[in-house]
Structure 1
Amino acid sequence: MNIRFLETFIWLARLQNFRLTAEKLHTTQAAVSSRIASLEESFDVRLFDRNSRSATLTPAGRKMLAYAERIVNLGEEMRREVEGASGDGGLIRIGVVESIVHSWFPALMARVRERFPHLEIEVTSDTTIHLVQLLRADAVDLILQTHALNDREFADQPLCEFPMRWVASPALNLSGRPVDLTRLAEFPVISFSRHSGPHIALEREFARAVERPVRINCISSVAAMIRLVADGFGVGVLPPAIIQRELREGALEVLDVESGFIPLPLVASFRLQSHPMAARIADLASKEARAFVLDLGPNLEGAVSHRVNDTVEVVDEPSSQARPTKPSRPRAARPGRPGTSETPAKPRSPRVTRKP
């Protein structure tokens, strides 16, 4: 049985017109008629009523349509599975933190589509804590996040680091002079989700420098954090790499604050015995992350050249060696160059699952 003939039969049943069916399938009306005649001869039954002006299914044709659709769909499923087994197709499920979504993730998706046009991508955007849970439960194949798993069942591939800086709306009039944590504590503080690396670092910084309790507002969405700080609701610690537009437009400004935040590490993690495409996409992610960092240059607001070079050396190791890697321990930030370690928050044709 010819699958192409069944596809022609299905489209003619839907469009009920030989000319439109021929245009849809990029063939001729004669070819459509020939394929339908071959099917009718094979089954010794008339599938369409020739007496009507449109191509109307006969009772036998209506029964055959259900089977034809199942056969064609099964053929498509078989093709996807076979392509997936070859490593260049099928479905891969990627989890990603929002700090990456707001920086180099679109460039990565464009590169993946270019390199693997038959690959179907499903994207889930969430916090690192939840993404790690999904990876361990085999609900995703690869996560791009902020915390190395350091587990022998998984590979951790360092991607890059984002410096972290205090930022605020110009309306708060905090720029142009040094600001200490005591002064910042007078404003609502916007933080990444509770128990994340940046939130823990923030609590530690205030406990060290401020005697009274500080009101810290935990937000699970990076987009919401940016909007709240830009609207003057409070102050926050964010990677300048993900707020370039807001900085250019003057909606946000980097403050002169001396604090002990270390840069935000970004890591690709995947199970060693998992989807054959996970390691290859992790390699592409490392290249896109490196290119993004190098392109921003001084706009990273605190990145230094030797740190970027270190990242490049680690990232260029092919993850296809299929062994877990431990990212190097982040070095303490230089005075005047604040940063942080984070577990950020939540982002067809990839299918995107967004959590509010």
Structure 2
Amino acid sequence: MSINRISIYHLETLLWIERLGTFSAAAERLNTTQPAVSARMRELEQRVGATLFRRDGRGMALTPAGRKLVRDCAPLLREMEQALLGSGGFGEASGVVRIGAGEIAAASCLPPFVAELKADMPGVGLEIEIDLTANLIQQLLTGRTDLAFAAGPIAHPALKTSPIGEVELVWLASPAVAAAFAGGAAMLPVWSLASHSPIHGRMREAIAASRIAQKSLNLCNNARTMIDIARAGGGIGIFPRPMVRGEVESGALVEIAAMPALAPVEFHVAMRVADTEPVLTQIFDRAAKLNLAAARA
């Protein structure tokens, strides 16, 4: 065994392959190419003198020797990272952290959280992607993102989560549409987020309990666009209050009275259980202390 020729990046690459399941996912996480990852693993196998991977269908799986190396080296790398951070603090941390968030989180708690994070960890690059909850969870599970702010509850054995509060939903329309509805119109267009959004289910239940005609429902996968449609007089919508505060304060949108009550949407922050990097763990712990109610105040 040529231990003096084994570098940290060899072991780090091995651990990310084990965590994410594929060479390509590890390459994306490490900001390199799949051929580079394959080359690192060939070098590592040569230097430890053992086969670490075997072909499993179209993919690769760890051999017993590979699993043992992961088990033995993971704590060592984690301790090394903690030691290095201990000497310089998180202010000296580096790397790239990918954060996924829904539009509601992006409009409430995310901006101040990111600003504070960048102030405390200037060397950590952030990549933020806004998407629907279903997509966020899938991206988190496949390693495309490291942290997700998503509507919950979230239940998956590969993820750990923490609740960060609830967001109130409100019935809104332009003043003209609200007046028409108050006058008895029942065929006005109603807008909801797409079927895989948690708001869609609330919308269906609320419409069934109201005098709105069922066939009036229209779908959109972007809450901001729905708000703009409502402002333009295009119909009624159920919206998260943090996203429409400005429109309500200016009078561009008004609340519709005597409508069925809406349960709030619960939000969680989530990360993979297998991720033990000190920087990512620190960011998750900070995110877990967020309070959406305080962010709305």
TM-score by length of 1: 0.53
Asked if the contact 1:206/1:214 (under 8 Å) is kept, the reply is: no
Correspondence for 2:173: 168
Correspondence for 1:217: 218
Q: Deviation of residue 212 (structure 1)?
A: 5.1
Distance 1:174 1:279 in 2: 51
Secondary structure of the equivalent of 2:145? Answer: coil
**May I ask how many residue pairs the two structures share in their alignment?**
210
Question: CA offsets, 1:4-43, max 9 Å, x none?
Answer: xxxxxxxxxxxxxxxxxxxxxxxxxxxxxxxxxxxxxxxx
Asked if the contact 1:179/1:257 (under 8 Å) is kept, the reply is: no
Q: Deviation of residue 248 (structure 1)?
A: 1.6
Question: Relative CO higher for 1 or 2, CA cutoff 8 Å, sep ≥ 6?
Answer: 1
Secondary structure of the equivalent of 2:206? Answer: helix
Q: How does 1:232-247 map to 2 (within 5 A)?
A: 232-247=233-248
Q: How does 1:110-259 map to 2 (within 5 A)?
A: 110-174=115-179, 185-210=186-211, 213-259=214-260
Correspondence for 1:282: 284
Correspondence for 1:261: 262
Asked if the contact 2:98/2:126 (under 8 Å) is kept, the reply is: yes
Asked if the contact 2:152/2:265 (under 8 Å) is kept, the reply is: no
CA 1:252–1:156: 2 relative to 1, 3 Å = same
Distance 1:236 1:279 in 2: 38
Distance 2:117 2:178 in 1: 43
Q: Deviation of residue 281 (structure 1)?
A: 2.2
Question: CA offsets, 1:276-296, max 9 Å, x none?
Answer: 333322333344x42x62364
Secondary structure of the equivalent of 1:190? Answer: strand
Secondary structure of the equivalent of 1:243? Answer: helix
Secondary structure of the equivalent of 1:200? Answer: helix
CA 1:277–1:174: 2 relative to 1, 3 Å = farther
CA 1:184–1:123: 2 relative to 1, 3 Å = farther
Secondary structure of the equivalent of 1:277? Answer: helix
Q: One-letter code of the match for 1:113?
A: K
Distance 1:121 1:133 in 2: 19
Q: One-letter code of the match for 2:267?
A: L
The percentage of counterpart residues that share the same residue type is 24
Correspondence for 1:101: 106
Secondary structure of the equivalent of 1:174? Answer: helix
Q: How does 1:293-312 map to 2 (within 5 A)?
A: 293-294=293-294, 296-297=296-297
CA 1:295–1:124: 2 relative to 1, 3 Å = closer
CA 1:212–1:225: 2 relative to 1, 3 Å = closer
Secondary structure of the equivalent of 1:248? Answer: helix
Distance 1:212 1:150 in 2: 34
Asked if the contact 1:148/1:269 (under 8 Å) is kept, the reply is: no
Asked if the contact 1:90/1:119 (under 8 Å) is kept, the reply is: yes
Distance 1:286 1:242 in 2: 22
Q: Determine which structure has the larger strand proportion and give its number.
A: 2
Q: Deviation of residue 89 (structure 1)?
A: 1.8
Distance 2:221 2:283 in 1: 26
Q: One-letter code of the match for 1:278?
A: L
Distance 2:182 2:203 in 1: 16
Correspondence for 1:41: none
CA RMSD of aligned residues (A): 2.7
CA 1:296–1:205: 2 relative to 1, 3 Å = closer
Correspondence for 2:73: none
Q: Deviation of residue 186 (structure 1)?
A: 2.1
CA 1:95–1:239: 2 relative to 1, 3 Å = same
Q: Deviation of residue 189 (structure 1)?
A: 0.7
Asked if the contact 2:189/2:236 (under 8 Å) is kept, the reply is: yes
TM-score by length of 2: 0.63
Q: Determine which structure has the larger helix proportion and give its number.
A: 2
Q: Which structure has the larger Rg?
A: 1
Q: Deviation of residue 103 (structure 1)?
A: 1.8
Q: Deviation of residue 261 (structure 1)?
A: 1.8
